[in-house]
Structure 1
Amino acid sequence: MFNLDMIHSFTETERVLYDYIMQHKDTVYYMRVRDLAEAAHVSPASVIRLMKKGGYESFAEFKLEIRNQHKQVEQQAVFDTKEIVDEFFNRTLSNDYNKQLDKAVEMIHTAGLVIFLGIGTSGILAEYGSRQFFNLGQRTFFVKDPFYPLGHSREDFTDSVAIILSVSGETEQILEQTEILIERGSKIISITNTSGNTLAKHSDVNLAYHLTPETINKTVNITSQVPVAYLVETLARKNYAKRQNRI
């Protein structure tokens, strides 16, 4: 649909629109240009420009491809793990992405404390990430309770960086905790599936993995977390190497 070079060339508006389309493939097919523009909070002209950038003659042609892709996904129970890995490593990782990783590592390296935050599956990975960092000598703790009373603490997080995990980047409790951390002085690194979401916009560094979303029964989100585990381990190992003066 859109290759990696196209995605990297998107304007902020185009990225927001692209992220909306990726998250709502099952309903975009039934929309008109104006419907999609209103849903994604962009102008109809922005929709048309994105279609042209993707090489489509019309919005109808684009929707036909969306429908065909959606049918293929429906016929497949879940994506094969190899497909997931290929999609992430071949489409997402690039030199520009490595620059973002290096920027995140520099923030972690200069921080006295690393806070991991996530809910549900992301909470499990937050605990895993915190353990990886601790095993490599980094002072850290994790929060996977959406109602953990960060706001009741008087602790100053100026010397901290928070690594926040969220597939959608729109979970209300995560955004509330993020706001508290920012108010207390913490830097924010977010790992999300898209880059146009609210959490990404409030982060100092956002690492988005851009996988095709997967759901079962239209309600249970099973979008793979393989890229998240890779990113968390990469940050931990790069930070350790930097602490050992190897990079």
Structure 2
Amino acid sequence: MFDIDKLKVLNELDREIAKYILTSLDKVAYMRVRELADATNVSPATVVRFTKKMGYSSFPEFRVTVKQELAKQKKILSNENQRQSLLNNTVFPDDFDDKVESLVEKIVAADLIHCIGIGVSGIMAEYAARQLTTLGYCSFASTSPYFPYLTSEQRVKGSNNSEVCLIFSVSGETIEMVQIARLLSDSKIYTTSVTNKGNNSLSALVDLSLTYDTSYDRVHLNVDLSSQLPVIFFIETVVKHLYTRSSYHELPQSINYSIGDT
């Protein structure tokens, strides 16, 4: 709805207007210029200038966009039941939603998100990193167990930088992933595992263990037919939470930093 480059050059007054709009879409969609001005303690002229800075020719055009954004968010939420129906044979633990929300909090505050896995789980790691990057988060995927994951953590040791590492493994016993989790256990990097069932070595080593319970269909050492639908559901649930968390202060840290510097 707002162009990131335009947000970067806003003055303090305009940033307050943007913050209010992003946290109150359902109200702003039906406000007049004066009502939005009163809600943000500015003049109607300031509101009109703000909408023009954001690329809108008039306030009514801006309000149409707000309604479209609100409808888009409601559609995302309404798709939840449809996604759930695809997972009738999967059981998630009772605290699944709470754990997802905890992870979302960590991601919002993170400067860097690692997504790692090998084999099919590597594909899931790449998908997760791509989705997070689409939302503006600094994220990358690696399917190599030999990547120096501690390099960035060591370089910024003593700083307030925050990192999250998502480790994908169906069994939770993949030797390379377990070794990485063990390596990271003494670092400041917040680790989260995504595994089928929770009684495994990987889950015991990470800060947060996200699990699902579905059939484990490895028919051969190199042939694993286990469904990845629960993992996709997990990734898209996290992304949905991040997307609908539209508070201005909860935009990716890299964006907030850039705005604060102007």
The answer to whether the 8 A contact 1:156-1:184 is kept is no
Runs of 4+ in 1 over 4 A off after TM superposition: 151-154
Cα distance per residue 1:146-182 (max 9 Å; x no partner): 2223356644486101111001111111112222333
Please give the TM-score of this superposition, normalised by the length of structure 2.
0.56
- Structure 2 portions without partners, runs of 5+: 1-83, 251-262
Partner of 2:34: none
Partner of 1:86: 88
2:189 aligned partner, one-letter code: S
Q: Say which SS state the counterpart of residue 184 (structure 1) adopts.
A: coil
Distance of aligned partners of 1:246 and 1:212 in 2 relative to their CA distance in 1, 3 Å threshold = farther
May I ask how many residue pairs the two structures share in their alignment?
163
Cα distance per residue 1:179-220 (max 9 Å; x no partner): 233333100111000111111111221111111111325762
Cα distance per residue 1:216-238 (max 9 Å; x no partner): 25762211110101101211221
Cα distance per residue 1:92-151 (max 9 Å; x no partner): 264x22111111111211211111010111011101110000001111111111222335
The answer to whether the 8 A contact 2:113-2:138 is kept is yes
Partner of 2:117: 118
- The aligned runs of 1:52-71 (5 Å cut-off) are none
The answer to whether the 8 A contact 2:172-2:203 is kept is yes
Partner of 1:171: 174
1:221 aligned partner, one-letter code: D
Distance of aligned partners of 1:228 and 1:166 in 2 relative to their CA distance in 1, 3 Å threshold = same
- The aligned runs of 1:27-66 (5 Å cut-off) are none
Partner of 1:27: none
Larger radius of gyration: 2
1:209 aligned partner, one-letter code: Y
Q: Say which SS state the counterpart of residue 86 (structure 1) adopts.
A: coil
Please give the TM-score of this superposition, normalised by the length of structure 1.
0.59
2:243 aligned partner, one-letter code: Y
Superposed CA RMSD: 2.7
Distance of aligned partners of 1:189 and 1:87 in 2 relative to their CA distance in 1, 3 Å threshold = same
Cα distance in 2 for partners of 1:136, 1:112 equals 14
1:198 to 197, 201, 224: 201
The answer to whether the 8 A contact 1:117-1:126 is kept is yes
Cα distance in 2 for partners of 1:173, 1:218 equals 16
Partner of 1:140: 139
